């Protein structure tokens, strides 16, 4: 996957517009969330299909997202300095983070970002952190508290810090 390098005075890091920041703040107001127009605004501004669900804790740092249909993001925090691609029928439980960037160890003012790709029919359970450059295959479950620093293949249950494959799984249809 292609790395994107953000240096001071170079390529500007993506960030939310004032409107995007305002809409994310309005998403936290229960009364406004009940009317549904905030969801429509968030979906439009962040290129999310209307079949996407999220709660008041959802946050995305920049709308570099490609999200499939029937995705539940709950209160996922997404730092998207590189593209984040999420397939169809994915479910995120609570307190998850998707982080596409890290700092250069030799120059902390330089940020290096890599895309993250999550396949179809993936369940990201609770308190999972997904780090730059990771690809998670289709039909996979990531266990609670995992730190996903390397790619995970399709059709497995993986967990731990660092996250690793525990066993193969198959979904009955």
Parallel, antiparallel, or unpaired: how do β-strands 107-113 and 4-6 relate? antiparallel
Write down the pTM of the prediction.
0.94
Domain ranges of the chain: 4-8+16-166
Dist. CA 116–CA 3, nearest whole Å: 11
* Residues designated as active site: 103
3-class SS at 125? coil
Residue pair 15/121 in contact by the 8 Å Cβ criterion: no
pLDDT tens string 108-167: 899 999 999 999 999 999 999 999 999 999 999 999 999 999 999 999 999 999 999 999
pLDDT tens string 67-119: 999 999 999 999 999 999 999 999 999 999 999 999 999 998 999 999 999 99
Dist. CA 164–CA 167, nearest whole Å: 9
Residue 15: which of 68, 60, 77 has the closest Cα?
60
Domain 4-8+16-166: CATH architecture, name and number where available: 3 Solenoid (2.160)
């Amino acid at each position: 996957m292609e790395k994107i390098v953000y240096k001071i005075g170079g390529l500007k890091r993506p960030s939310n517009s004032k409107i995007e920041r305002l809409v994310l703040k309005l998403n936290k107001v229960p009364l406004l969330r009940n009317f549904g127009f905030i969801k429509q605004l968030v979906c439009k501004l962040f290129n999310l299909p209307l079949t996407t669900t999220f709660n008041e804790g959802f946050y995305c740092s920049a709308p570099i997202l490609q999200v499939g249909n029937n995705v539940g993001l709950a209160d996922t925090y997404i730092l998207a300095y590189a593209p984040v691609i999420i397939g169809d029928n994915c479910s995120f439980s609570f307190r998850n983070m998707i982080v596409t960037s890290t700092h250069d160890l030799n120059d902390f003012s330089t940020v290096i970002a890599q895309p993250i790709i999550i396949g179809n029919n993936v369940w990201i359970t609770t308190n999972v952190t997904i780090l730059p450059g990771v690809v998670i295959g289709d039909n996979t479950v990531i266990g609670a508290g995992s730190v996903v620093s390397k790619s995970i293949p399709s059709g497995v249950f993986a967990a731990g810090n660092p996250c690793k494959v525990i066993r193969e799984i198959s979904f009955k249809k």
